[in-house]
Amino acid sequence: MSTLSAPAATLETAAKAAGLVLTPLEPGKDFHGEPTVRASLTLAAAPGKSVTLELSQGFDAANPKFAAGIAEFFAEAAVRLLNPNPDATVTFHGLPLTFANFAWPFHGSSSGADTFIVHGDVKLADGLDSPLHAKVSGSLTRTFAEVLPALEQPFAESFIYNAVRKVLDQGQLEMVKSGNRQPVPVTTRYYSAKQKKFIFNDASPELRSRFLDIKTYWLSYVLTGGTPTPIWIADPRDAQYLNTTTADLRKLAQGLQAEGKLKLSPDGDWATATQATIDRGEYFRGLMEEALSFTRPSFNEDMRAGNTNM
């Protein structure tokens, strides 16, 4: 069995404070073959689901400058583990997704470019076992990497996942049955140095509300096997993606509840799909198909038919 060496005591204490149990896994290997420290995170009170933490072997988790970021990562992971599917999300335009197989930490580009890279997979989660997916290669410039406390999962996972969603929104990432890795560049255009925060979308309240409506249908109903189940409606990762706050997400969810589209928990953090939302399945699948079509390359029809001079 592996042992944590990043160091164990610091990580275990931080995990315990968030209500998590940290269990060592066999060491992994980074892109260059160097060993990584891996552990599963499960809820102490409900150990049925887990997420994986992967760190550089030499990462000094005991350094005080990392404490706040690690604590925040564990706290959010603990709440996401209460979701029916902790790895599931949706895009602004209506694609249901799951994220998997991200190989942390970042590694230097093998092409000689002045960038750091992380690889992972994004799958279409339509509830019908779709084969569509995208192998992604998220990249940071060395200049932009200086914004981060460290090039490690706890400090980068949220904005990398949000960058993937943003690139899908822009139609610059295609969901395919098989294919090569596709680039997901994270540039300074996604980050406000003045505000010291990431900005991926500047949506109206109406469009943010639509996002929550989409999220509730897929994550609370379809991806639970058809049994309406509470989901975390005020996820900070979604707040970052939508350039808003968790308080705003709760307020928007209250509006959806007033329209009969979801049912909120007493604290306003958890939403369950209602029959009114379930009955609009054709609408949500239509949005998904439109979003998929937007990601597919379009070709000049004359060229496709061979009616052009080359």
Indicate whether 305 pLDDT > 70.
no
User: pLDDT digit string (tens) for 190-238?
Assistant: 888 888 888 898 889 999 999 999 999 999 999 999 999 999 999 999 9
Which residues on adjacent β-strands are paired with residue 231? 271
Contact 96, 126 (CB under 8 A): yes
274-301 pLDDT, tens per residue?
999 999 999 999 999 999 999 998 654 4
The closest of 234, 206, 210, 203 to 94, measured between CA atoms, is 210
8-53 residue pLDDT tens: 789 999 999 999 999 999 888 887 888 899 999 999 998 899 999 9
Q: Is the pLDDT of residue 119 over 50?
A: yes
Instruction: Give the separation between CA 165 and CA 131, rounded to whole angstroms.
Output: 18
**Is residue 216 within 8 Å of residue 273, measured between CB atoms?**
yes
Q: Minimal CA–CA distance to 139: which of 187, 199, 185, 189? A: 185
Residue 24 in contact with residue 39, Cβ under 8 Å? Answer: yes
pLDDT above 60 for 7:
no
Residue 254 has pLDDT above 70, yes or no: yes
Kindly list the domain boundaries of the chain, sorted by start residue. Answer: 1-72, 205-295
Residue 48: which residues within 8 A CB-CB, separation 6 or more? 42
- The model's pLDDT over 91-101, given as tens digits with 9 standing for 90+, comes to 999 999 999 99
- The helix/strand/coil state of 144 is helix
Task: Render pLDDT for 188-197 as a digit per residue (tens, 0 to 9).
Answer: 788 888 888 8
Q: Which pTM does this prediction carry? A: 0.92
DSSP state of 177: S
For the domain spanning 205-295, the CATH number is 1.10.10
Phi/psi region, residue 109 (left: phi>0; alpha: psi -120 to 50; beta: rest), is beta
